[in-house]
Structure 1
Amino acid sequence: MPNRLPVWIITIISTLIVGLTGLLIYSIYQFLVKSLKEKEYDKKSITVIDRFGSILPYGLPLLEGLQNFGQQILPDYPFSLMSLYKKTLMPFVIFYVTHPELAFIIFFVLYYLFVRVKSPVPDRPFIRFNVLQSILLFLINSLLGATFRALPIEFRMSLYGLMLCNTLFWFVLSTIIYSIVKSIQGKYAKIPVISQAVRIQIDNNHT
């Protein structure tokens, strides 16, 4: 028969296994408690006012996108969708188009209140993030709209022009809807490049 290990060696090995297992369980417990506390803090720190205040600024890039691309392609969509657009957003778009200075006023008001380092509004990181992201989306929409309008009218009215306009319109609409949904959920949007640029800007302002 093979020699059996001494009792003291078995005792040491058993103690080590029990100790390491207990340490592992304790570490997992501490990690879970910390994660739950952080989640509870995040939920408490992002209030209903923060969520509602984060939704409103996205109206600016939405109106800009509808002005640049929506008015050209929406008449070709099903009547029910066009009818819904006329009853809801179209009056705002018409007012926005007939008052071009409104966009610049809203832009500078948002910048002054939320983006500047010495902002008069109390520091609300969630609102600040979404305001800055909405401003960036507005600038991107303005640039895309100006570029599209600079193309020859023959191309813009062609099949390829309409396809490009549709693509740009749905890009604008999807990014805004996604950002609004995340704001309602109290979560930070993660739009590639755009959200990263916003975070870099916020970090630079705090340094």
Structure 2
Amino acid sequence: MLKSFLILILATSITIIISLAIISLYRLFNYSLRDKQNIGTDPDSVSIIDRCGSILPYWLPLLEGLQNFGQQILPDYPFSLMSLYKQTLMPFVIVYVTNPTWAFLIFFILYYLFVRAKSPIRNRPFMRFNVIQAILLFLINSLLGATFRALPIEFRMSLYGLMLCNTLFWFVLLTIFYSVIKSIEGRYAKIPVISQAVKIQIDNRS
């Protein structure tokens, strides 16, 4: 139990340090750019419908991340947190795991509506940005999960494997939580690399 607790503290500390370093570098290279050059927008111009609609797609990468990493490391967290997880998110994860075709169906529906060149919904740029970003986070989580499961089980159950799993788990939670908060505020999220890739995708499809 003490070993697991130390692993959690160490992994969380490393994740926070890495996140702060990435954010600092990102701000350093983009400090001189104006908000409108960084996909900025006036929050007052974003409707409630766009804000609520922008939050929903993030369920996809969240459930994927919980399936890939949360199921393995959450039992090592304090019992109160695990109990909260069982009462809130775990039922959704179970449905997600037992019905994998739903995830791909939702993925293709979102792709058809927002991503493809001749998408029927093109006049809601804020929703489109968040949908594409959620899809990109979903794909990244799927790739990271598949890569992690491909590692030898001896490594996955070792100290370094658990540290890696914790880091990936917190990466999932922090990026999604940050994106949801920005959606509620009516502002575009600025996740290093990921948000820039979304902007390039939107510019190429415009």
TM-score by length of 2: 0.79
Measure the CA separation in 1 of the matches of 2:177 and 2:141: 15
Measure the CA separation in 2 of the matches of 1:76 and 1:196: 35
Correspondence for 1:12: none
How far residue 45 of structure 1 moved from its aligned partner, in angstroms, is: 2.5
How far residue 122 of structure 1 moved from its aligned partner, in angstroms, is: 4.8
Measure the CA separation in 2 of the matches of 1:112 and 1:43: 27
Q: Which moved more, 1:112-121 or 1:145-154?
A: 112-121
Measure the CA separation in 2 of the matches of 1:43 and 1:96: 33
Aligned partner of residue 42 in structure 2, secondary structure: helix
By relative contact order (CA 8 Å, sep 6+), the higher-ranking structure is: 2
Percent of aligned pairs with the same residue? Answer: 81
- Deviating above 6 A after TM superposition, structure 1's stretches of 4 or more consecutive aligned residues are none
CA contact (8 A) 2:42 2:187 kept: no
Matches within 5 A, 1:1-207: 42-206=42-206
CA contact (8 A) 2:58 2:176 kept: yes
Counterpart code for 1:203: D
Aligned partner of residue 188 in structure 1, secondary structure: coil
Correspondence for 2:10: none
- In structure 2, the gaps of 5 or more residues are 1-34, 36-40
Measure the CA separation in 2 of the matches of 1:44 and 1:187: 9
How far residue 117 of structure 1 moved from its aligned partner, in angstroms, is: 2.1
Measure the CA separation in 1 of the matches of 2:65 and 2:122: 30
The count of corresponding residues between Structure 1 and Structure 2 is 167
Measure the CA separation in 2 of the matches of 1:123 and 1:85: 37
Q: What is the CA deviation profile of residues 32-71 of structure 1, one whole-angstrom value per residue up to 9, with x for unaligned ones?
A: xxx9xxxxx8234210000000000000000000000000
Counterpart code for 1:149: R
